[in-house]
Amino acid sequence: MIVSFIKILLIGYLSFFQADQPTFKGGADALNNFITSKTIYPGFSKNNCIQGTIYVSFQVNKNGEVFGAKVNKGLGVDLDLEALRLIRLTNNKWEVPANHNENSRLIIPVNFSLKNYGCDSRSGDEINKSIALYQARAALEKAVTNYYRNKEQGNASDKNEAEILQLKAELGFDDSFIANKLKDAKKMIKQGDKAGACESLYFIKYIGSDVANTLIAENCK
């Protein structure tokens, strides 16, 4: 069995535990364990051996709620979105000192790495090409999702559907892709991350599949 191991590095995180800064309940080890347990390694990056550190900055209010999260430095692939999702999941898990300035931003570097996954032979050039491919796919994916959004509203032309079906085939939006996307969405629901799950479920819907409709009705109101 091929297994992927995800290691979360908290480089520089110790500075967060100084006075007047919010601290994750249980400390740095608890944060590390939390992120590790919640990580769902994104499909494109896993399949293309893309690894690296994503720096996410965010703010914490007096109630320990996370807001204003954004990627400060990423790779421009789906790892960025997963790192951002993980930090948002820490909502309400922070202890906040009374004199904390809510305008200050914390930065957590989240490191994604794959072990025993056949990635050792991948060159830096191959990985960079994969990153460029991901970014090029974004516009094509948008063309597909826009078509099905318009179709739902009765504004899509049937004569264009053959082109969209060809585009879906080129993008690999097949039954296996949809099944994996649905599996990840179900994991997010179990984690209590309905926002992340609904994003994935609606993506499935708007690439022309109805397999997510029941979960959308149950979780995405």
Cβ(111)–Cβ(52) under 8 Å?
yes
Report the residue count for the chain.
Answer: 221
DSSP letter at 55 equals E
Q: What is d(CA 114, CA 143) in angstroms, rounded to the nearest whole number?
A: 31
Task: Give the integer Cα–Cα distance in Å for 107 and 142.
Answer: 30
Which residue reads 């209590």 in tokens?
192
Is there a contact between 56 and 71 (Cβ–Cβ < 8 Å)? yes
Burial of 200 (0-12, 13-18, 19+ CB in 10 A): buried
Q: What is the pLDDT of residue 120?
A: 87
What's the mean pLDDT in 139-161?
90
Can you give the pLDDT at residue 14? 43
pLDDT tens track for 99-128: 888 888 999 999 999 988 889 888 999 999
Report pLDDT for 8: 38
> What's the pLDDT at 182?
97
Residue 82: C-alpha distances to residues 24, 112, 166 (Å) = 19, 10, 29
How would you list the strands of the sheet with 66-73, edge to edge?
A: 66-73, 52-60, 106-112
Q: How far apart are CA 104 and CA 68, in angstroms?
A: 11
For residue 58, what pLDDT is reported? 94
- Taking only the tens place, the pLDDT of each residue in 40-83 is 999 999 999 999 999 999 999 999 999 999 999 999 999 999 99
By mean pLDDT, which of 4-8, 35-39, 140-144 is the weakest? 4-8
Amino acid at 48: N
Structure tokens that stand for 183 in this block: 């599996």
Can you tell me the distance from the alpha carbon of 188 to that of 184, in angstroms, rounded to the nearest whole number?
Answer: 6
pLDDT above 60 for 203: yes
- Whether 4 shows a pLDDT value over 50: the answer reads no
State the amino acid at position 186 in one-letter form. K
- Give the model's pLDDT for residue 178: 97
Question: Interhelix angle for 194-205 vs 78-88, to 10°?
Answer: 150
pLDDT band for 21, please (50, 70, 90 cuts): confident
- pLDDT confidence of residue 160: 85
pLDDT of 117 reads 84
* Side-chain half-sphere exposure of 64, counting CA atoms within 13 A: 12
Name the average pLDDT for the chain. Answer: 89
Q: Are β-strands 66-73 and 52-60 bridged in parallel, bridged antiparallel, or unpaired?
A: antiparallel
pTM of the predicted model as reported, rounded to 2 decimal places: 0.83
* pLDDT tens digits along 153-178: 998 777 788 999 999 999 999 999 99
Query: Does residue 184 have a pLDDT over 90?
Result: yes
Distance CA 147, CA 173 (A): 14
Domains of the chain: 13-112 (3.30.1150), 124-219 (no CATH)
d(C-alpha 88, C-alpha 103), whole Å: 17
